[in-house]
Amino acid sequence: MRTARAAMAADSCTDGGFSAEVEAEFLKYRSPLVSRYASKEMAYNFSDRKKFSTWRKLWIYLAKGEQALGLPITDEQIQEMEANVEKIDFKLAAEEEKRLRHDVMAHVHTFTHCCPKAAGIIHLGATSCYVGDNTDLIVLRDGFNILLPKLARVISRLADFAEKYATLPTLGFTHYQPAQLTTVGKRACLWLQDLCMDMRNLQRARDELRFRGVKGTTGTQASFLQLFEGNHEKVEELDRMVTEMAGFKQTYLVTGQTYSRKVDIDSLSVLSSLGATVHKICTDIRLLANLKEIEEPFEKDQIGSSAMPYKRNPMRSERCCSLARHLMTLVMDPLQTAAVQWFERTLDDSANRRISLAEAFLTADIVLSTLQNVCEGLVVYPKVIERHIRHELPFMATENIIMAMVKTGGNRQDCHEKIRVLSQQAAAVVKQEGGDNDLISRIKADPYFSPILPQLDALLDPDTFTGRAPQQVVKFLLLEVRPLLAPYEDKMNVKVDLEL
């Protein structure tokens, strides 16, 4: 997109200026979430085409239900509406909205323009939120359906990584200080556990979505009760039929003019939580890249810095962190919106929701696509990891050395004091002289430790310091991760082609 626009600008530039067409194009703001990052399917999900064609489908569902329940609506009228679902005159709609100052009525007029026979029954008995809120619920549901397979692919790629490196020892870190050893695969399982929680949260949020249905201006269904001359059963049946046609199993039994805006809180809460997960994972990867232990994919011709040719910046992970930070903040919008919905509704929710709902799903979409790309190309450097372990392991092995000495008849307190002194000497070499950790050499040179010298290599084997990490990886992947991915098996073979 950027290349095409640059070419268009170059071709249109005359006498140092731009044509009116090109200048007008460059003066338009387009959200980077659509123009630069998000997938076509998610961008379409929040597009005007999807929105207004869904409005028309909802008017058809309403007409079909009302016809089936005895209102004078003909097959010809419904067929005319069905034939024009996608034939949206956006220019006419914009003109009508400018004239009427009402988006729904503008599209009612636009639809009736191409459906003259159905003009009298379009939107019959409904309020604006019949199309507005019900469409939002459809879009939220479809948005989750786009995200879930993408999240499943991220989990799958990371699970394969965890399995591959289940036994590779690496330094653990607490407070970002070297701690007890873990394994590369076990650390990946910490990331996976959070992603699995996000998967369950997204599934729950999607599955608990209901349909607003046909509820009328303040949620009382009064207009429909009047249409059906006081027949409550027909009003309830119309609500059920429209809900079913829209692909929902349940409707909200009570609403105001809108569905409760706590539904939006629930949807964006799980996406914000996903953002926190991704931020943590990608921050870890960025820190590991600095340590040169693990790196994200780096293209053959990729440039890390314009001034420093040697740099291999973790730009994918940085992008994920940048967008995840935005995603985490968006939940504040529906929280504040729900808090100020007076009585049956106020319109101060509308502009905010147009932005926050779309941006949350679009942001989550590109974050997952980018993270999949990262997880598919993670590079591990075992020799660097081994060097870091060798640098720290002597200090961590001191307790094992003390216990071995006690078993040969040594006094624990004497041994502890000996190692304390030698450890401080070795630490001074590391911190003050910039040398390597020579604690083991000092122990080998001290006659006091001669009884355990034959055991020393075994006592320093990194595999003996990782506890049950490898077994935990195997069990976790078997019992929790793989079963969670089972419903998405047919959607796993999708590669991500990022425009970096």
What is the architecture, at CATH level 2, of domain 129-298+312-384? Up-down Bundle (1.20)
Single pTM value for the model: 0.89
Token pair recorded at residue 65 = 């239900």
For residues 83 and 81, give the distance between their C-alpha atoms in angstroms, rounded to a whole number. Answer: 5
For residues 88 and 338, give the distance between their C-alpha atoms in angstroms, rounded to a whole number. Answer: 33
For residues 423 and 80, give the distance between their C-alpha atoms in angstroms, rounded to a whole number. Answer: 86
Token pair recorded at residue 445 = 């040179």
Token pair recorded at residue 323 = 């967008």
> What sign has the CA pseudo-torsion 477, 478, 483, 489?
positive
Cβ neighbours of 162 (radius 10 Å): 24
Provide CATH 1.20.200.10 ranges for the chain. 129-298+312-384
Three-state DSSP at 304 gives coil
pLDDT at 400: 87
Contact 42, 17 (CB under 8 A): no
Contact 117, 104 (CB under 8 A): no
For residues 268 and 385, give the distance between their C-alpha atoms in angstroms, rounded to a whole number. Answer: 39
Taking Cα atoms as reference points, which of 386, 187, 174 lies closest to residue 293? 386
The amino acid occupying position 338 is A
Cβ neighbours of 331 (radius 10 Å): 22
For residues 396 and 243, give the distance between their C-alpha atoms in angstroms, rounded to a whole number. Answer: 63
Cβ neighbours of 223 (radius 10 Å): 16
Contact 199, 484 (CB under 8 A): yes
249 Cα distance to chain centroid: 26
48-124 CATH fold: Fumarase C; Chain B, domain 1 (1.10.275)
Enter the DSSP assignment of 292: T
Residue 311 phi/psi, 5-degree rounding, is: -75, 145
Contacts of 383 (CB under 8 A, 6+ apart): none
Taking Cα atoms as reference points, which of 121, 126, 110 lies closest to residue 52? 110
pLDDT at 298: 67
Cβ neighbours of 7 (radius 10 Å): 10
Three-state DSSP at 257 gives coil
Checking phi first, is residue 19 left (phi over 0); if not, alpha (psi -120 to 50) or beta?
beta
Token pair recorded at residue 79 = 């067929």
Provide CATH 1.10.40 ranges for the chain. 398-459
Q: If residue 61 lies in a helix (H) or strand (E), which one and from where to where? A: helix 48-68
What is the architecture, at CATH level 2, of domain 398-459? Orthogonal Bundle (1.10)
Taking Cα atoms as reference points, which of 323, 367, 366, 331 lies closest to residue 352? 331
Contact 456, 443 (CB under 8 A): yes
Q: Which residues are catalytic?
A: 175, 305
pLDDT at 8: 45
pLDDT in tens, the chain (500 residues): 344 444 444 444 445 556 666 666 667 778 888 888 889 999 999 999 999 999 999 999 999 999 999 999 999 999 999 999 999 999 999 999 999 999 999 999 999 999 999 999 999 999 999 999 999 999 999 999 999 999 999 999 999 999 999 999 999 999 999 999 999 999 999 999 999 999 999 999 999 999 999 999 999 999 999 999 999 999 999 999 999 999 999 999 999 999 999 999 999 999 999 999 999 999 999 999 999 999 998 654 444 444 444 457 899 999 999 999 999 999 999 999 999 999 999 999 999 999 999 999 999 999 999 999 999 999 999 999 999 998 888 888 888 899 999 999 999 999 999 999 998 999 899 889 988 889 889 999 999 999 999 989 888 899 999 999 999 999 999 999 999 999 999 999 988 777 65
Provide CATH 1.10.275.10 ranges for the chain. 48-124
Counting other chains too, the contacts that 130-135 makes at CB distance below 8 Å and 24 or more residues apart are: 130/58, 130/62, 130/212, 130/214, 130/215, 131/54, 131/55, 131/58, 131/59, 131/104, 131/107, 132/104, 133/212, 133/258, 133/259, 134/58, 134/211, 134/212, 134/213, 134/246, 135/51, 135/54, 135/55, 135/58
Token pair recorded at residue 325 = 């930070």
